[in-house]
């Protein structure tokens, strides 16, 4: 299946732009719905976003009966697998909670991996109508199997990308792979960054990029920078040493993407800082797990800002707010996940004036993507 059920037909005309966009890494959607549905429902009803972008939904894609991870068989990545008892229980839970409650207000666009891993969802208010929705980036080649599905080249094989083309800009939602602590993981992340960098150069529309980008750009984006630099891999090459997401190599590539893409880190633009902010405050989107069956948990009390809204420089006049919606070592506002929601608010194009008048720490632009020649409309990140 090359299009998901709710996707616009080829050649459709876009109508309207979202103003309030929320991103949240759910760290397992079925788990959170099972344990925290009332909190999630209340949060969505109170926030009432135009678009909700979820990462790490961890629902396997539908495929041929008996299909296994990495078997090369074509998947229907816009649909969830419904074979085993657990798969049926998880999908039934999603249907009777999130879908049953919000299907009248939102269209649902899934991008899922072969197994219970990664995966993303974009919920779009039905009064908005994107001209096109795509699920990979055409700059991904066959140089790394984790980013290329030969059975269906229109989808990222791990469900990490959804891009919707609205009236005046493209909304790209991604779940970037973790850098890991071994050469194979380093290569996978480097291939991702390379492809996105190439796509950024080719973008031809304004872009808002949102999601879990799995990198903390500066020392001020982690609670304990010196501590994080000493964690995990400490071998060669030296620029891969440290906590995944906080290595020199990842941070360097991210800054290059910002410059190449002519985009701006929306949160840091509106909340400039020269020093590491207080660890207890709403400044970090990921928080370490508190102790469960032990007296001390290594990452408890520590945090990283690895979820972003990256806004095209030409859209800065429309940037109204960007807020981290959780805080503290106890993960207040995290809705059960290890990530809290991030909210980005834009003005309507007609009411956009000058960029926010605030003191700003000098910093580079941000990210974006590209369109495949087979796509029905000119979009930024497509295949």
> Is 383 assigned to a binding site?
no
> Is 92 assigned to a binding site?
no
* Catalytic choice (175, 233, 299, 308): 175
> Is 47 assigned to a binding site?
no
Predicted local confidence at residue 278, as pLDDT? 93
> Is 182 assigned to a binding site?
no
Q: What is the spatial distance between Cα 147 and Cα 131, in angstroms, rounded to a whole number?
A: 25
Q: How do the domains of the chain map onto residue ranges?
A: 20-351
109 annotated active-site: no
Q: What is the pLDDT of residues 105-124, one digit of tens each?
A: 999 999 999 999 999 999 99
**CATH number for the domain whose boundaries are 20-351:** 3.60.10.10
The pLDDT confidence band at residue 350, using thresholds 50, 70 and 90, is low
Residue ranges of the alpha helices (H) in 74-121?
85-94, 100-102
Asked if pLDDT for residue 184 goes beyond 80, the answer is yes
Asked if pLDDT for residue 364 goes beyond 50, the answer is no
Q: What is the spatial distance between Cα 198 and Cα 207, in angstroms, rounded to a whole number?
A: 15
Which range among 24-33, 70-79, 323-332 shows the weakest confidence by mean pLDDT?
A: 70-79
* Catalytic choice (156, 299, 339, 383): 339
**Taking Cα atoms as reference points, which of 153, 64, 164 lies closest to residue 114?**
64
Asked if pLDDT for residue 353 goes beyond 90, the answer is no
**Percent of the chain with pLDDT strictly greater than 90:** 75
Q: What is the spatial distance between Cα 194 and Cα 112, in angstroms, rounded to a whole number?
A: 22
* CA–centroid distance for 97 within its chain: 22
**Percent of the chain with pLDDT strictly greater than 70:** 90
Strand partners, 95: none
**Taking Cα atoms as reference points, which of 242, 240, 176 lies closest to residue 213?**
176
Predicted local confidence at residue 201, as pLDDT? 80
Element (H, E) at 286: strand 286-287
175 annotated active-site: yes
Q: 171 with 125: CB under 8 angstroms?
A: no
Q: Is 321 exposed, middle or buried (0-12, 13-18, 19+ CB in 10 A)?
A: middle
**Rg, C-alpha atoms of the chain:** 20
The pLDDT confidence band at residue 4, using thresholds 50, 70 and 90, is low
* Catalytic choice (193, 212, 221, 265): 212
């Amino acid at each position: 299946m090359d299009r998901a059920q709710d996707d616009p037909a080829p050649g459709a005309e876009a109508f309207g732009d979202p103003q309030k966009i929320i991103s949240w890494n759910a760290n397992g959607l079925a788990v959170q719905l099972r344990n925290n549905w009332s909190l999630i429902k209340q949060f969505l009803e109170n926030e009432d976003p135009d678009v909700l972008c979820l990462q790490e939904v961890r629902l396997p894609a539908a495929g041929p009966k008996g299909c296994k991870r990495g078997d090369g068989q074509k998947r229907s990545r816009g649909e969830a697998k419904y074979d085993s008892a657990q798969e049926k229980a998880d999908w039934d839970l999603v249907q009777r909670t999130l879908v049953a409650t919000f299907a009248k207000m939102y269209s649902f666009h899934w991008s899922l991996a072969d197994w219970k891993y990664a995966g993303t969802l974009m919920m779009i208010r039905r009064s908005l109508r994107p001209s096109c929705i795509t699920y990979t980036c055409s700059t991904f080649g066959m140089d790394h199997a984790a980013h290329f599905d030969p059975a269906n080249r229109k989808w990222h094989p791990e469900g990490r990308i959804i891009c919707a083309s609205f009236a005046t800009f493209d909304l790209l939602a991604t779940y970037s792979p973790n850098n890991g602590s071994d050469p194979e993981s380093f290569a996978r992340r480097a291939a991702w960054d390379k492809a996105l960098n190439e796509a950024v150069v080719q973008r031809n529309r304004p872009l808002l990029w949102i999601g879990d980008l799995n990198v903390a750009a500066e020392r001020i984006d982690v609670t304990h920078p010196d501590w994080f630099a000493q964690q995990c891999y400490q071998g060669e090459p030296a620029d891969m040493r440290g906590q995944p997401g906080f290595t020199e190599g990842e941070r360097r590539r991210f800054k290059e993407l910002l410059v190449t893409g002519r985009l701006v880190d929306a949160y840091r633009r509106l909340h400039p800082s020269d020093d590491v902010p207080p660890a207890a405050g709403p400044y970090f989107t990921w928080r370490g797990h508190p102790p469960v069956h032990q007296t001390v948990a290594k990452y408890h009390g520590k945090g990283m800002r690895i979820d972003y809204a990256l806004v095209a420089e030409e859209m800065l006049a429309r940037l109204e707010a960007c807020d981290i919606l959780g805080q503290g070592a106890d993960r207040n506002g995290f809705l059960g996940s290890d990530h809290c929601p991030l909210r980005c608010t834009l003005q309507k194009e007609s009411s956009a004036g000058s960029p926010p008048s605030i003191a700003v720490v000098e910093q580079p632009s941000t990210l974006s993507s590209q369109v495949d020649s087979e796509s029905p409309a000119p979009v930024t990140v497509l295949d």
